[in-house]
A and B are shown apart, each in its own frame.
Chain A
Amino acid sequence: MSEDGSSVSGEREAADDLEDLFEFAPCGYLSAQPDSRIVRVNSTLAKWLGREPRELVGRRFPDLLNIAGKIYYETHFAPLLRMQGAFHEVALDLVRADGSLLPVLVNAVERQDANGSVRFIRITVFNASDRRRYEQELLEARRTAEDASAELRKLNADLEMRVAAAVEERMKAEEALRQAQKMEAIGQLTGGVAHDFNNLLTVILGGLDTIRRQVSTLPGSPTTERIERSIRMASHGAERAATLTARLLAFARRQPLEPKPIDAGRLVTNLADLLQRTLGETIALETVTGGGLWRAQADPGELENALVNLAVNARDAMPGGGRLTIETGNAHLDESYVAQVAEPVAAGQYVLIAVSDTGTGMCAATLAQVFEPFFTTKDVGKGTGLGLSQVYGFVRQSGGHIRIYSEVGEGTSVKIYLPRLLNEGLVPESETAAAAAVTHGGTETILVVEDHDDLRSFSTGILRELGYRVLEAANGRRALEALQAAHDVDLLFTDVVLPEGMDGRRLADEALRRRPGIKVLFTTGYTRNAIVHNGRLDPGVNLIGKPFSFENLAAKVREVLDS
């Protein structure tokens, strides 16, 4: 230490320097008593708060905080300071003179004397406005990210659900398509087999006919009786086979239909007696007909067959008795409905015939197969498995729709939708009276066109036996040549399906063009061709279904020639 006072001024300078550092440091400084009462505060902090330092001296530090800070200071940070001797970087808000908040980070440390008693508390305050803003932005960004992530999760879940739904939809559609294709394939196969069978049956029945007629010319003896008995048995068997093939053709939608305007309500009422007999005494039959019922367009005979078939199924499903209800009503199949059925169905107006029983019902697996031919749940020998197939084929061929609802233990309801008859009056209701059986022949000239040799000779045999003059041809071209050569052909009797590009319809058209007035009689086992549109005979067209008998053909030929 010098005596000239320079060290004194040096000390003062150093003190001034420290004072300046304390007052104007870039952070707030304050000293407080152990109870947090402020004894000294620097200018920086006072300026931040918009106050004079002397205004702050004597107040407790927590009094400078907002209410949340005050409470947390008393309950958390003051205890911490006491227990740890310090706390660091606690985020607090100071209240400025104007009431606004100053975000700060606060450090505090206890200064102790030699005995460990607290002399004072040093509190350091950092302006944290920027940091707090970053924190807010960070929090905001995190919230946004969390929201986005939640949104994404939701989207993913949605997407998964939609994909699952789409896949399920697709699988359903494919399943429906498979089912439809299967029915179509079975139909093709069945139809083809039945058609060939029909031709064979025609030959067999024709042969049996011829034998019977020949035998009848012989003098009666035990031998002829035995032959006649055998012929009856064989004929009976062949006729049953023909019935079966007819049902197969019905399923394959290849039976010739004669659609007529029908009143389904009246048809059901008229059929009630027969149905009740079929059902037996333990089953109550109820028929309900809606008022204002539209007329439908369908083959009445086949519809009756279908209802009998359904009644038989219902009876078998109600061995302990029950109730069968047949209801008729108007129905509208809308776009959304037809979109979800497997097979093509036109949206529009239909006449509904619903056949409901209180029987055992069917499980889903059975329901999926009920329309397939030869599918039966009945014991061997009790059912052909063709009943529902036939109903299905008939309804489909009639442009209708069929739906089965069934619950095991509850019963089954079969709904048949037949297209409403529109433009009524344009198609006159045909007379249903069958032509009286006539077996007498004639002398007119008939051109028989048939590619099947056996069948052709069967037909020509009958016609010759009946006295007609018969010409024959195996295809359309030959037929036209024959027509050209002979000028007096009265009747063209032709198969609908012919080989080599000219079918029966075109042949008939050409024949009529060349010989106006010539009569035409078609024959077919099978109607998927030009003469039958959608399974319907063109009005005015004459047709005899295969197989036909001697009497059938004789009567039909006479009828056509006489018309």
Chain B
Amino acid sequence: MSVATKHNVQVRGAGEQTMVFAHGFGCDQNMWRYVEPAFEGDFRTVLFDHIGAGGSDLGAYDRAKYASLEGYADDVIDLCRELGVRRGIYVGHSVSAMIGILAAKKAPELFEKLVLVGPSPRYIDDTEGYVGGFSEAQIHELLEFLDSNHMGWSQAMAPVIMGNAERPELGEELTNSFCRTDPEIAKAFARATFLSDNRADLVDVPGQVLVLQCSEDVIAPQCVGEFVHRSIPGSQLVILEATGHCPNLSAPEETIAAIRAFV
């Protein structure tokens, strides 16, 4: 099975330069549904699912490999190499922002520009003044909660894909989940995400970097976006009016405009 098939890759658009869109923790490539079409006219766009999410090949899941973000970064590199990406643009949301940085540092030829949407190199506050947004106790509470294998959680994805009379244009996707995810894999992904500390990886990031930061993001607070911006010399920081953690869904026009201005 090719890397592209394993990752349920969709290649669209007509441009010379490739834009790769990477989804974060939660859901799948659908996260880009309101943003990606805006770039199809000028770029060759690539959408994919991380292994364990959406339409990816669950059989390719390797607990050891995906215990850290490095495993996901290696996938991005393999994927881009198979698709012949060179000097492209990487757009990564949430944890995939850091995955993109890891990939770009390992394979600098792949991307000339990185767009980091709601990045966080570390979610947990530390004692030396770093504010990640969560106390260690809170993250452990999250992980314990996931470990308790609450029936409501493990099956939470099932009810949400039912009827959607208001948005008939999404009918086709009702059979596919927007947020299809294996609960066990989601648990491991949560662990890899929320226990990660990639602050040291922010030095010597190749290419140009744009940080898109939402107002009032509880997952990646503004001070974290500013930390990333400060740590990567030459990077740009744009504070969006959008609130929450997913401006790509809640404020697609603003997000598109910010990315377009950068690329």
Contact = CB atoms under 8 A, between A and B. Distances in A.
Are A and B a genuine interacting pair, yes or no? yes
Interface of A: 34-36, 60, 62, 66-68, 70-72, 74-80, 82-92, 103, 105, 109-110, 112, 128, 132, 135, 138-139
Given A74-B244, A83-B178, A68 B26 contact: no
Contacts of A112: 166
Given A75-B219, A82-B249, A84-B170, A91 B153 contact: yes
Interface string B81-95: 000000000000010
Interface of B: 24-27, 30-31, 33, 94, 134, 138, 141-142, 145-146, 149-153, 155-156, 159-164, 166-167, 170, 178-179, 190, 194, 216-219, 243-246, 249-250
A395 B213 CA distance: 97
B160 A79 contact: no
A85 B164 contact: yes
Contact of B151 (A36, A67, A78, A135): A135
Contacts of A138: 151
A333 to B, nearest CB: 56
A86 B178 CA distance: 12
Given A66-B141, A67-B142, A79-B26, A84 B244 contact: no
A84 B179 CA distance: 10
Given A67-B138, A68-B142, A77 B160 contact: yes
Given A75-B245, A83-B30, A90-B159, A109 B142 contact: no
B162 to A, nearest CB: 6
14 contacts: A35-B216, A36-B244, A68-B145, A75-B24, A75-B94, A76-B179, A78-B246, A78-B249, A83-B27, A83-B30, A84-B178, A90-B159, A135-B150, A135-B151
Contact of B244 (A35, A85, A135): A35
Nearest to A138: B151
Contacts of B218: 62, 70, 74
Nearest to A34: B250
> What 3 pairs between A and B have smallest CB-CB spacing?
A91-B152, A75-B26, A68-B145
A90 B161 CA distance: 11
Contacts of B243: 35, 60
A67 B76 CA distance: 30
B76 to A, nearest CB: 19
Contacts of B149: 139
A118 B49 CA distance: 28
Contact of A74 (B190, B194, B219): B219
A67 B141 CA distance: 7
A64 to B, nearest CB: 13
Contacts, number: 117
A90 B155 CA distance: 9
Contact of B152 (A79, A83, A135): A135
Contacts of A89: 159
B246 A87 contact: no
A34 to B, nearest CB: 7
A76 B27 CA distance: 6
A80 B181 CA distance: 13
A128 B149 CA distance: 17
B166 A87 contact: no
A87 B177 CA distance: 12
Given A34-B250, A76-B179, A79-B179, A86 B166 contact: yes
Contact of A90 (B25, B134, B156, B249): B156
Given A67-B138, A68-B142, A90 B160 contact: yes
A144 to B, nearest CB: 15
A132 B152 contact: yes
A330 to B, nearest CB: 60
Contacts of B31: 79
B34 to A, nearest CB: 8
A79 B177 CA distance: 12
Nearest to B168: A85
A101 to B, nearest CB: 10
B147 to A, nearest CB: 11
B163 to A, nearest CB: 8
A109 B166 contact: yes
B178 A79 contact: yes
Given A71-B142, A76-B27, A138-B151, A83 B162 contact: no
Contacts of A70: 218
Nearest to A91: B152
Which of A75, A132, A135, A139 has the most chain B CB within a 10 Å cutoff? A75
Given A76-B156, A91-B152, A139-B149, 15 more contacts: A35-B250, A36-B244, A70-B218, A71-B219, A74-B217, A79-B31, A80-B27, A84-B160, A84-B170, A84-B178, A86-B166, A87-B159, A91-B156, A109-B166, A132-B152
A95 B33 CA distance: 33
A76 B94 CA distance: 12
B4 to A, nearest CB: 24
Given A71-B219, A79-B246, A84 B146 contact: no
B182 to A, nearest CB: 13
